[in-house]
Amino acid sequence: MQVKEIGEFNLIKRMANILGIPRRSVIAGIGDDVAVLYSPERKLLLVTTDMLVENVHFSISTATPYQIGWKSLAVNISDIASMGGEPTYAFVSIGLPRNTNVEFVDEFYTGMRDVATKYDVDIVGGDTVSSPEIIINISLLGEVEKENYILRSGAKYGDAICITGDVGGSSAGLEILQQKFSIEGTKKHLMPEPRVQEGRLLARSGFVTSMIDVSDGVSSEIYHICEQSKTGAYIYMKDIPLSPNVLSVAQHTNKNPYDFALYGGEDYELLFTCRPDKFQFLKDQVLRMCNMPITQIGKILDVSSLITIEDESGKTIPLESKGYDHFAL
């Protein structure tokens, strides 16, 4: 069955049915002209939005509608996590070709519902239009205590540069899908897990000076932190924690495994800086409370030291700033 056969209003009803009743109490959710929500008291309101276009951000040849739904919302949740916040309400605007199968929309909403449930998000509104290609825009609200938000701009000379989990796995996973390698490890690409609990813990510790989520690649995120904080950085390539699938994909494609981590992106780990004497404490806490390893991969230097990386042979070279850029040729 195609969406043109059931029409916009029936389609919205199906979406609302899949999403179910919001967990938070709302005055009005899906079904009225606007969502009417309680505003967080004595907290800061966080707002983020992301747009996804078919064949730019996702392809129905490599991801199921369920996975596309999961990832679309997960990447927004990751942005809230990178501020040290908690996600709350989401709005989903979707453009669909008239001949889109209703099953696609059902599965897409089921994927979004499941990631929303896991990370305590309520989807309370949106818009539905027809469009020549599938296009999805998600806006997500979140909240954070006034004293706990973390920006990109707080890194200081001498801070440790750290990362949660492992990196490179998403872009290695994309290679596996595109080149049809029979290698395990596409989950990080298809269904990323935003580090909300980790971000909350790090932000509330009081020892984290800057934070960002890894959407465009470790290199690009380090450049963002350094630019905003007006610092330089020194990275140890061998200390970057590579995802389990990276080595075999690098072998199959004849690439340097660290390129997946540095320039690949979409890992949705948290990259952050902290005072060096607090690293071990944070590492122990995040491991104990979230079962998540964190690794130090470098240190913040002053701005005149530029941004450099020590490669595997011990040679210091400038870190290339390339990462995913929509307008780059």
Q: Which residues bind Mg ion (CB under 5 A)?
A: 127
Residue 270 touches ligand ADP, criterion: CB under 6 A:
no
Query: Nearest 5°: phi and psi at 131?
Result: -155, 150
Q: Which two tokens stand for residue 133?
A: 């290609």
Question: Closest CB to ligand ADP among 26 and 237?
Answer: 26
Residue 5 touches ligand ADP, criterion: CB under 6 A:
no
- What is the smallest separation between the CB atom of 130 and Mg ion, expressed in angstroms? 12
- What is the smallest separation between the CB atom of 126 and Mg ion, expressed in angstroms? 8
Residue 127 touches ligand ADP, criterion: CB under 6 A:
yes
Burial of 251 by CB count in 10 Å (0-12 exposed, 13-18 middle, 19+ buried)?
exposed
Question: Closest CB to ligand ADP among 15 and 155?
Answer: 15
Beta strands in 135-282 (DSSP E): 135-145, 160-164, 208-213, 231-236, 270-274
Quickly count: other Cβ atoms within 10 Å of residue 175's Cβ.
22
Q: Which does 65 bind (CB under 5 to 8 A by kind): Mg ion, ligand ADP, none?
A: none
Helix, strand or coil for residue 308? strand
Segment lying near ligand ADP (by CB under 6 A), choices 28-36, 151-159, 187-195, 227-235:
28-36
When binding is defined by CB under 6 A, the residue of 3, 15, 167, 235 that contacts ligand ADP is 15
When binding is defined by CB under 6 A, the residue of 64, 110, 128, 248 that contacts ligand ADP is 128
- What is the smallest separation between the CB atom of 126 and ligand ADP, expressed in angstroms? 3
Quickly count: other Cβ atoms within 10 Å of residue 68's Cβ.
25
Segment lying near ligand ADP (by CB under 6 A), choices 30-38, 76-84, 189-197, 242-250:
30-38
Q: What is the DSSP letter of 179?
A: H
- Classify the phi-psi angles of 82: left when phi > 0, otherwise alpha if psi is within -120 to 50, otherwise beta: alpha
How far is residue 290's CA from residue 164's CA, in Å, rounded to a whole number?
Answer: 11
When binding is defined by CB under 6 A, the residue of 5, 10, 23, 31 that contacts ligand ADP is 31
User: What would the x/- binding string for ligand ADP be over residues 107 to 126, using CB under 6 A?
Assistant: ----------------x-xx
Residue 155 touches ligand ADP, criterion: CB under 6 A:
no
Segment lying near ligand ADP (by CB under 6 A), choices 27-35, 42-50, 60-68, 143-151:
27-35
Burial pattern 188-226, b for ≥16 Cβ within 10 A else e, equals bbbbbbbbbbbbbbbbebebbbbbbbbbbbbbbbbbbbb
Q: Which two tokens stand for residue 12?
A: 């919205």
How far is residue 309's CA from residue 205's CA, in Å, rounded to a whole number?
Answer: 28
Q: Which does 183 bind (CB under 5 to 8 A by kind): Mg ion, ligand ADP, none?
A: none
Chain residues in the site for ligand ADP (CB under 6 A): 12, 15, 30-33, 92, 94, 123, 125-128
